[in-house]
Structure 1
């Protein structure tokens, strides 16, 4: 079967397609929970900023109150692990980053969603699971399939995409037009453009993350995949230090050398801000920033930005990642939490959050006439999703440990000039191998 067909089949199996629904039951599914409170843990993030504007309507429609615990995204996992380790936790719904899904499931911290969707007293018959972008559903929601995190036999649903993303190239059309520069379509053109754009524009060529830990690894993966590399081979042996891995890191070093000041210490927020404030001519990262770019209250580049596909290396590839929603196992109000999750990710509310500057997770929104009129870049986003790779990073339970403690340190050392690209990646191999062996991988 082709991958898209596997995802579609998995969705039908997981979500109990064809279950009988009673209109009366569906109409009154909120009544039992009216007056209750759902506690939701979210990050400070543009998508969730937009989401919060929808919550009063949810309470008006359902009678269910929502209490939001918003924390810096860098503290999100630490706080969730503390809460989810308790016999009874404070969170009924939690936002997670894609790379945590395997760890949370391996530690038995989150609910499978199939029982909720199979419950006619809770499930919305108009939900239409097949409308969710398949790559987002697979990447953010499924655990237990091939490799432990892909669609296929054994895959179960533990979360839904909400704040999902792929990667595209945003660029200052006004700057490119003035300097008569061509938007890069390949990595060869991309590489050649960096010093030229830096010299001729007087601003950073490309903004990027560079901060030690996850941020630096995220930036490196943006180039590793299109150039044909991967973190492990098919036997889970590290291959990130091969010629392709080193070349991707050298490219990132060139990005830092030609980027805005301080780029080697940028997290996602700083990288975004540099582009929004006109300090960089290009942005290669998450589609989730598109709504902010178009907001005059938060962006100084409104009307000056165009979008293109992630440049092609040896293959066309774009990121899959972002944020999702899950229900902690120790939730006090799991069913009410599910109702909020289902409501937020419905067709109507997906369009609503998108029109407020959030990131769409449904095909119907990406193709909606009103949404495309407001965000014409959605045409490019739909094309980019054809190349989005669900195996962009190995989302195994120990990935976050490798990501933060090993590769995240090594890549930062290369970006700050402490080590060469070769020495940095070679030096990380023993630590990554040790982490994998401790986790039970026979390498």
Structure 2
């Protein structure tokens, strides 16, 4: 890597002491999170040059003719993002090759490649929950040296413009809890395909039934049987397949209901009253929703809404593009958007995907240039216009984008409640998510009482956390 001036991230944990959770005021916490991200961004202030065009040309010249290989998922955001890859090649002379596979198989293949002395990938698209494991195993590069390298860094990149909760949730490792701002926090990835949750609903069906979009879980729960009975359609679609999918659906309701997966001492908390309430709510969703929810993954869940089999959707903003795509949707023009309903509090998902540079890549600098370009202001707006997920505040606030997708007005409000501590982002998460709690949640959707289903996951969770050294 070219010689660079390194800028050390400041110790930001003191400023964020209570901001990552919901200990006092949610709005105050969000303000603090914003200040913390601004501090992180300030620590990576990029050098400015008087001749921007010449600098950009110089930045890419050394790497013209090289090729970067990116591992990415089959996902609506990347349906949009891949459409601009050829533009990157035209502008820079750097070619892009893709290895696009199903998300469920992507991590296994990445671990295989990243574990080699020299792997095939120069860029990996990772799910936020993988970041701790990848860093612990020293598989991906820290981003700071690249962002501080005057020969590579775009002076107009504007890291502070990235949605704070996305940057923290996807990019930071170290700090508070090991994955939030604080002493030792370092940036290892940049969001691309980041997401929060939002509610989409059939305007025509709710209007026919004289129902308003539910603002609270109480209102939502009350209308589920009404929609099923009088609307002759499934009410709320949901993920439910055993493992990650069921766990994701559970988390969508656990957080607003005031629950958490693990407490501050890493002890199981998902089985407490808010968790039981969340799973009992999911049981009602199964009873009143489209048929097959206990076997639904993301694709089946979203497709039920897109094909007119469900009246309400509460999940990722990645639904934006498909709803407007007539090749995927039967409900174009019939959908409205509203905030993820409130229970004990407003809280919405943070997660989705980020981009990182493998430690064993032979083209690290070209890989950084590609990541930087793809997540720049200009490309973020372009990808959002194509139906991808916006990751920048400026994009979400864009009048031009809002004219095309009015739902961005709702997203601008929703993003205030995006919770970067939506679930513990620790190396053990995949086991908890896929093999333990996600299985218990599915048990609750297929006949087992909610309290008993969740309680069955307490002992194996405790044992896993004990083995991993979380209890002193």
* TM-score, length basis structure 1: 0.97
Cα distance between partner residues in 1 of 2:157 and 2:314: 33
Q: 1:199 aligns with which of 229, 232, 236?
A: 229
Give the conservation status (yes or no) of the 8 Å contact 2:46–2:154: no
Q: 2:113 aligns with which of 66, 73, 83?
A: 83
Cα distance between partner residues in 2 of 1:69 and 1:176: 42
Cα distance between partner residues in 1 of 2:41 and 2:248: 28
Cα distance between partner residues in 2 of 1:29 and 1:311: 46
Cα distance between partner residues in 1 of 2:59 and 2:115: 30
1:19 is the counterpart of 2:47: yes
- SS across alignment from 2:62: helix
Give the conservation status (yes or no) of the 8 Å contact 2:46–2:148: no
Partner of 2:33: 3
Question: How far 1:424 moved relative to its partner?
Answer: 1.0
Partner of 1:53: 83
- SS across alignment from 2:433: helix
Give the conservation status (yes or no) of the 8 Å contact 2:33–2:164: no
Within a 5 Å distance, the mapping from 1:21-420 to structure 2 comes to 21=49, 23=51, 24-417=54-447, 419-420=448-449
Q: How many residues align?
A: 440
Partner of 1:433: 462
Q: Residues 17-76 of structure 1: CA distance to partner in whole angstroms, max 9, x if unpaired?
A: 153557444431111111111000110001101111101111111111110000011111
Q: Residues 303-334 of structure 1: CA distance to partner in whole angstroms, max 9, x if unpaired?
A: 00000101100111111111111111111211
Give the conservation status (yes or no) of the 8 Å contact 1:135–1:388: yes
Give the conservation status (yes or no) of the 8 Å contact 1:10–1:155: no
- SS across alignment from 1:340: helix
Give the conservation status (yes or no) of the 8 Å contact 1:22–1:120: no
Question: How far 1:278 moved relative to its partner?
Answer: 0.5
Give the conservation status (yes or no) of the 8 Å contact 2:33–2:165: no
Question: How far 1:369 moved relative to its partner?
Answer: 1.7
Q: Which stretches of structure 1, 4 residues or more, deviate above 3 A after TM superposition?
A: 18-26
Give the conservation status (yes or no) of the 8 Å contact 1:111–1:327: yes
Give the conservation status (yes or no) of the 8 Å contact 1:165–1:320: yes
Question: How far 1:153 moved relative to its partner?
Answer: 2.2
Q: Residues 239-270 of structure 1: CA distance to partner in whole angstroms, max 9, x if unpaired?
A: 11111111111111111111111111000011
- SS across alignment from 1:352: helix
How has the CA–CA distance of structure 1 residues 268 and 430 changed in structure 2, closer, same or farther, with 3 Å as cutoff? same
Cα distance between partner residues in 1 of 2:404 and 2:277: 38
Question: How far 1:337 moved relative to its partner?
Answer: 0.8
How has the CA–CA distance of structure 1 residues 60 and 307 changed in structure 2, closer, same or farther, with 3 Å as cutoff? same
Question: How far 1:181 moved relative to its partner?
Answer: 1.0
Cα distance between partner residues in 2 of 1:243 and 1:286: 25
Q: Report the aligned-residue RMSD.
A: 1.1
Cα distance between partner residues in 1 of 2:338 and 2:310: 16
Instruction: Decide which moves more: 23-32 or 136-145.
Output: 23-32
Cα distance between partner residues in 2 of 1:119 and 1:18: 8
Give the conservation status (yes or no) of the 8 Å contact 1:26–1:123: no
- SS across alignment from 2:417: coil
Give the conservation status (yes or no) of the 8 Å contact 1:25–1:120: no
Give the conservation status (yes or no) of the 8 Å contact 1:231–1:393: yes
How has the CA–CA distance of structure 1 residues 132 and 256 changed in structure 2, closer, same or farther, with 3 Å as cutoff? same
* TM-score, length basis structure 2: 0.92
Q: Residues 139-163 of structure 1: CA distance to partner in whole angstroms, max 9, x if unpaired?
A: 1111101001112222110001101
